[in-house]
Amino acid sequence: MKKNHIIMFYLLLVFIFFFAYIYDLGAYRLLEVDETRYVNIAKTMFNTKDFFTLYLNGEFFFEKPPLFFLIECLSFKLTGIISELTARLPIVLLSLLPTGFLLGLCKKVRGDKFAIITVATLLITLQYMLITKIAILDSVLTSFVSSSLLCYFFTHFVENKNKKYYWILTYVFSALAVLSKGIPGVAIPFIVIFISSIIFKTWKETLKYSSGILLFLLITLPWHLVMLKMHGNLFFDEYIIKHHLLRFLGSDVINRTQPWYFYMLTLLWGLFPHIFLLLSKVVDIKNIKFDINNNYSKLLLLSLIATLSILIFFSLSGAKLITYILPIYPFTSILIGDLWLKYINNNDKSVRKSLIILNLIFWTATILLCFVKFVMPNDIYKEFLPVQFTALLLLIPFLIYNSIFLIKQKRLQTFFLLVIFISVLSGILTPYVYNFNYSFGQNDLMRFAQFAKDNNYTISTYMTGQKYGLLYYGDKSYVEFQTDEDSDWLNNELAKPNVMIIARNKYIENLPLKIKEKGVKYSIIEANNK
């Protein structure tokens, strides 16, 4: 690649990152339930200045370590604002950390072209793109644990005199990952390093730099020791036993039990739009060979080890959520980047067929989108109309040009057209999609919360679930969440002064209650207020 082309493509990566991750980042409300929960904890930490113990809804929160919340507080302090944008922006910017290591690693091993393709592949991978711009712990864990592994990868390709620096970073980022979300922050790097040391016969080097464990402990132990001293067995039982050991072993701690193949199904949509390229090579997997004496082949093998290790680790866990698998994507992007590179350089026929299938899927989705009006109720379609219009406005010109590029076999143009399209589509369409989703009930809750804030009401809820958006948008330190059907409790709350009761419609429709305001999914019950 010519130097001016390389500069242009690096600038294109900046454009992709801006549109896919930062554009309109604060244009939609916090998402229930994780984003509202974690931002509320950070908000409480910021207001109370207690940077050790976490609190949620007026109670101790011993499920997670503090680093995510400290990062949030730093953002609130630097900007002077607590908002959707200031909550999400530091998490998005933190995702640049592994992206930078990935770019540098791929450039060192195979050059600028492969580096640009691999990073662009990661940036438009669907689940990675969606989750890393949400203020949740899995995004921070992903940034640090993948940075730890990528620094370990560097130790295989740098001169001996520089190895120690990357080993130090491996331990530091693993420690920060532990302070972000606990055991996965150390378990994942340990598994990958252990397996790689066997395959590449680098045991002596691994043991040589094992003194980094002291640095790891120096970073991770202080907070844990302070919390044990402050809260004793309560912290030990909740944090270590319940939310680490028992959750992994499969005890019903958070009611998130899924089958062992759950993450395989997750990757089928999470790896979109690259999944078709990957599947095109699965049938040819027996012909894949790795030469550990070749740096490029070694990088691919390391990435495969990391991919399988992360997949197996989380698949063995008793508790499963779709966000847990997020650390896998920087490493799948290396493997998929290799497929894109082979297609662009050599017109790989199986990859080309997969792109034709992808193009047909896009055309089918576009046609179906045109007729969605005829299958939606009018009131829902009115809310969906901005999503439909925006999506069609972007889809139609993309598909025309993409079809032309595929027919004329403009392979590099096909790749970058797809990358630009996905990033722009994500940036522009995301607020419309979320705001449409909010119209099914969350908008009611946000409006009710604002009403309670403006009129200085305390909030009680009946069968709504724990909707922490009521805490955030109602500016409350505590909300009473009643999660069992209990008409006596409801009557007692109705008799209290200055209380606003929010209830799920389907649980009160047969009760003799006076509805003050009825929303799509939730209502305010008339109570004995001022």
Give DSSP secondary structure letters for 286-354: GG----TTSHHHHHHHHHHHHHHHHHHHHHHSSB--GGGGGGGHHHHHHHHHHHHHHHHHH--HHHHHH
Task: Specify burial of residue 193 (Cβ count, 10 A radius: 0-12, 13-18, 19+).
Answer: buried
pLDDT of residue 530: 47
Answer yes or no: is 20 within a domain. no
3-state SS, residue 499: strand
Q: Judge whether 8 lies within some domain.
A: no
**Could you give the C-alpha distances from 217 to 152, 172, 186, 222, 239, in angstroms and in order?**
18, 10, 11, 8, 18
Parent domain of 407: 348-436
User: Mean pLDDT by 10-residue block, N- to C-terminus, for the chain (530 residues)?
Assistant: 82 94 94 93 95 94 94 97 96 96 97 96 96 95 98 96 97 98 95 96 94 96 94 87 72 66 95 92 64 89 96 89 95 96 89 94 96 90 92 95 95 95 94 91 92 93 93 93 89 89 91 88 79
On whether residue 102 sits in a domain, the answer given is yes
Our measurement of the distance from residue 372's CA atom to the centroid of its chain's CA atoms, rounded to an integer in Å, reads: 29
Is 509 a domain residue? yes
Verify that 117 and 250 share a domain, yes or no. yes
Residue type, 88: R
432 and 499 in a single domain? The answer is no
Task: Give residue 529's pLDDT.
Answer: 54
Residue 355 domain flag: yes
Report the domain count for the chain: 3
415 and 446 share a domain? Answer: no
Q: Given 315, 344, 373, which residue is the final one in a domain?
A: 344
Domain presence at residue 4: no
| Residue at which a domain ends, from 318, 344, 370 | 344
d(CA 478, CA 496): 16
In Å, how far from its chain's centre is CA 57? 24
> CA separation (Å) from 169 to 49, 148, 163, 191, 220?
30, 7, 10, 17, 14
Q: Are 130 and 137 in contact (CB under 8 A)?
A: no
Residue 36 lies in a domain: yes
Say if strands 499-504 and 522-525 run parallel, antiparallel, or are unpaired. Answer: antiparallel
127 and 210 share a domain? yes
Residue 222, H or E segment: helix 212-231
Q: Do 154 and 219 fall into the same domain? A: yes
Residues 429 and 448 in one domain: no
> Reduced to 3 states, what is the DSSP secondary structure of residue 49?
coil
187 and 307 fall within a common domain: yes
Of 413, 436, 459, which marks where a domain is finished?
Answer: 436
Contact 144, 180 (CB under 8 A): yes
Residues 403, 460 within the same domain: no
314 with 463, same domain: the answer is no
Q: Both 417 and 446 in a single domain? A: no
15 domain-assigned: no
Same domain, 299 and 413: no
Q: What is the pTM of this model?
A: 0.94
Angle, vertex CA 393, rays to CA 390 and CA 395, nearest 5: 105
